[in-house]
Chain A
Amino acid sequence: MKKRQITRSRKAQVRIPFPVVLANILVFVAVFGLSYVWLCARCDTLGQDIKRLETVQRNTRRLLINEQDRWSSKLSPSSLDRALKRHNLAMRLPDEQQIVRVRNGANATATALAYNK
């Protein structure tokens, strides 16, 4: 029993205490390293996100321009004319005889002045 105690006390005597400063440095380096790795990974992820969004933006812009182009084409006067004909809408401007123009101002009479000739 005694021999055992002696052995333990010897072990206790030879154990070198781990320096606290070194331990702190190692912890700091480990934390720093891990942070660096995490930040790198984060940057890579963000970079990939940016690349993906750039592609999305490019495609959306392309889609927008193509749709604007098609819309503009549909709004051309000849397209509108064709559309009207397709739906049997015979639209034309009124004849001069069909127009009653109303004037206001100093010379206006109480009733509308129609001056078509």
Chain B
Amino acid sequence: MKYKGRTVITSVVITAVFVGLGVRLAFLHLRPLPETLSRIESGRHLEQETRGPRGRILDRNGNMLALDIAAKHVCADPKFISKNGNMQDVCTALSSKLSMNRAEVWELLNQPEKEYVRIKKFMREDALEPLRAMNLKGVIFEDVPIRDYPKGVLGAHVVGYANFEGIGSAGMEQTMNAKLQGVAGLRISQKDGRRHEIYSQRTVDIDPQSGADVYLTIDQQIQHFAEVALDNLVAKYHPNAAWAIVQNVRTGEILAMASLPTFNLNRFSTAPAEWMRNRGINYTYEPGSTMKAMIVASALDCGAVRDTDIFDCENGAWFYAGKMLHDSHPYGNLTVADIIKKSSNIGAAKVALQMGNTKVYQSLRSFGFGERTGLELPGEDAGIVWKTDRWSKLSISRIAMGHEVLVTSMQMLSAIGAIANDGVRMKPLIVHKVVNTRGETILAPPPQELSRPIRPETSKLMRRLLARVTQPGGTAPMAALPGYLVAGKTGTAQKVDLVNGGYYNNKYMASFVGFLPVENPAISIIVVADEPQQGGYYGGTVCAPYFREIADQTVRYLRIPPEGFTTEYLTDIETSGSSEESISE
């Protein structure tokens, strides 16, 4: 009886407990209070948004120029560290391994009320290996993607950079941002008491998608040739800046675009804004004598002059429209062919006068001056070509020698490319193709014709006239390349004094623009130096040798065969021209 009573009581208690639990369970499951329900849900709910990696930027041969790599933020739990009493050790380890000031680390760690502080952001994984090996308690490594530029400074102005939020902010990173940006992934699931995801409760799982890969028309090897040549130029002549562009004459593809000073893309935030300037497209200048090539080409094309026509170059000083116009060397009579070869300002002015204002203006516009070339890089300048109603009587003589107009190097290269390419001006291309993650090409800009400023016959003649510039007696024999005939034009322009008006007497823009091989042009190159400080300032002295350096390596790299003929090719023009041998600008 005694035991029976205990049994009954125990059974009742157990039953009551289970009934209580059952009732609570029923309440929780069948009619939970809204706040209870939301508390449970929020505790369990797991929603992760994963950023899709940016697409890569590659050169035309698939060499990677920019890609997302895995990096880490180094974080810490000061509350945990202070509780465990190893603050000193952790602080010492972090400051030494992360190359940080100890006081700075201590200040971050000495916040015992906090459970999370970020010690250092965007650390590369390999740099963190020693720290991770120490297995410090309370130190957390947070995964984060980081944009990396494995080639460093190579093509910095073209590739550009993406900021720390992963948004393209310069160069191709900016222009192609929409295509490069990945699509974020989403995972909705539930987590257990240890905050681990319960896989079986995963309801939404969308993988992040990588952005498309952008292949540039740039060739990293040719880019390297250009950058090394510019380094050599800067080392010898100490200009404020120097830049060069290499273009495929037939398609308009940019093979290299270099500008000095430059910067390392992996440390873009520390570079001065001036270094980030892509001078090839956003620096406008008065081009000087390089403009004579376009003026003479147009004059020949419209029949205003013939290459054998002779002009009196007034022995180097000509009074026109109330102002004196000088040649750097005195010349008497020169044929049109020799005006190009000797780069006579007076001769070019007289050729332009033969054309008249309207035709000169039209020719400048048809060569693309005064408008953007449409290159897919941010910040391209249009330059300035005033309409004829704003011209003075003097303007035509000054424009013929490359003053009173502002151009970019890209425009000048595009114009010389038209002369090389049978009179067809091609749109400069920088994007070779864009390929999505499935390997499908979603964009491949085809070569595009912009204008036809001259006829093919004029182009052929101009190629031969410009080839004489690099021959003995021309202004740029230093641009000549053994085995090839090189055509080109030098430019040496005094810089405009924007403060006092007029021109500086001692500040010059030196340039050389040309192409090769003459008979079947493949590449065109422009080299520009802003204010060479020592050793000379003529385009033929400062820029032509580096044009040659780039051309020499590029023709071999691209396996462009020599033409098999040299100066004999120009004999008929030589015999018809004058025999002066002095080199001038």
Query: Which residues of A are at the interface with B, using a C-beta cutoff of 8 A?
Result: 43-44, 46-48, 50-51, 62, 65-66, 68-70, 72-73, 75-78, 93, 95-97, 99, 101, 103, 115-117
Contacts and interface: CB of A to CB of B under 8 A. Distances in A.
B146 to A, nearest CB: 10
Interface residues of B, number: 31
B221 A77 contact: yes
Contacts of B151: 72-73, 76, 78
Contacts of B482: 95-97, 116-117
B220 to A, nearest CB: 6
B224 A116 contact: no
Nearest to B566: A117
A48 B198 CA distance: 9
Contacts of B221: 77
B54 to A, nearest CB: 12
B499 to A, nearest CB: 40
Given A62-B125, A73-B151, A51 B561 contact: no
A70 B553 CA distance: 27
Contacts of B126: 66
A58 B148 CA distance: 18
Interface of B: 63-64, 67-70, 124-126, 148, 150-154, 197-200, 220-221, 224, 482-483, 552-553, 556, 561-562, 564, 566
Nearest to B201: A47
Contacts of A47: 198-200
B67 A65 contact: yes
Contacts of A66: 69-70, 124-126
B550 to A, nearest CB: 13
Given A62-B125, A68-B64, 12 more contacts: A43-B200, A66-B70, A72-B63, A72-B67, A72-B151, A76-B150, A76-B152, A78-B151, A78-B152, A96-B482, A101-B561, A116-B482
Contacts of A51: 197, 199
Query: What is the predominant secondary structure among interface residues of chain B facing chain A?
Result: mixed
A103 to B, nearest CB: 8
Nearest to A54: B199
Nearest to A95: B482
B553 A93 contact: yes
Contacts of B197: 51
Contacts of A72: 63-64, 67, 150-151
Contacts of B148: 69
A76 B154 contact: yes
A77 B553 contact: no
B68 A65 contact: yes
A65 B54 CA distance: 13
A65 B69 contact: yes
A76 B58 CA distance: 12
B280 to A, nearest CB: 20
A96 to B, nearest CB: 4
A43 B483 CA distance: 74
Contacts of B220: 76-77
Contact of A69 (B67, B552, B553): B67
Q: Which 8 residue pairs are nearest across A and B when measured between Cβ atoms?
A: A47-B199, A77-B224, A96-B482, A62-B70, A73-B150, A72-B150, A72-B64, A76-B151
Task: Pick from A46, A68, A77, A115 the residue with the most CB of B within 10 Å.
Answer: A77
